[in-house]
Structure 1
Amino acid sequence: MSEDSDQRATAFQLTLRTVDDDVEPEVWRATIHSGGVTRFGGETGAAEATVYRVHYANPRWAEQLQDAEADLTSISSAFVDRELISLLDESSLFTDNLCVIASIHVEDARQGPSLSHELVRSIARVFDGDTIALLTARRTGNDGATGFWADRAHWAAIGFVDIPGTTSMILPVGARS
């Protein structure tokens, strides 16, 4: 048995903050806990993300993104430009919803790269029929500074592509695993 194979368990949890009106987007909190013991002797960390979800059938979906707590204005503008999105991922034109991963926090920097990828993949599996976008400039680690999870190459490794003119990326439907 290797040092890293001690009884690992992973739990993924989604919670939804509901509102009574049609003014705000859905706000989801995704959390992943990776249990077990690391080779450093401590427990593995957790990661969490905030996901904003809008429904294209709502005529106010772009305004909902602009009115969100996070600054989603640039991504809203990008997704209004359907031609731009079709150049990046034509399949995204046929989804009913847009999910924007607006922030990610990883507790344990040693687990960060793999844990952040696992968290985003889990989100993509749950929202499989939706367009998945990511704001790359809003990731923080324990020290509060942007880290490897803010690096565009980190996200490109699991299939995300840049949305020109924004600090955002899109996960093409065909790149999901």
Structure 2
Amino acid sequence: MSDLENETFAAGNNANGEPDLLENESVNENQGQFQDEIDESEVATTGSNNVSAVAEWKEKREAQIEARDKADREAKERLQEEAVKHIDDFYENYNRKKSQQLETVKKESEEFLKKKNEFFSQENTTTWDRVLQLINEDDADVLGGRDRSKFKEILQRLKGNTSAPAA
């Protein structure tokens, strides 16, 4: 063996230059046994201190968890109360707007029926007179390529004529 091979072999490698796994595993096992012995001796000397420290830690941890759970419950209750309040407000506004809309529609329908009845119950008017009231005579005479001036002239001649057809 050369000096280089001796160095690698001494450093825990085999003759091929690869690490010697068996040797490393036995070292690790020995370290693990030694660590177990240290832990057992610590527990034996400070056993009562560890038990009380663990008990204190558990109590503190339980208190923290309980405080967090209480805060979460309170936050959830506040959120639920706000949600109920918002829903109630929504339905109050909805019902108020709905009733206002119903009142408005009712008033408009009453006005419309009143105007309709007044329109059809006019004294001394013919059907053609009422037709002329409904159309705008000032509209353009030509609309969409159609001449409407003749139709307007016919309606003007029928105005006030009680002997006209359908009058």
Q: TM-score, normalised by structure 2?
A: 0.20
Larger Rg: 2
Structure with more of its chain in helix, by fraction: 2
Greater relative contact order: 1 or 2 (C-alpha under 8 angstroms, separation 6 or more)?
Answer: 1
Q: TM-score, normalised by structure 1?
A: 0.19
Structure with more of its chain in strand, by fraction: 1
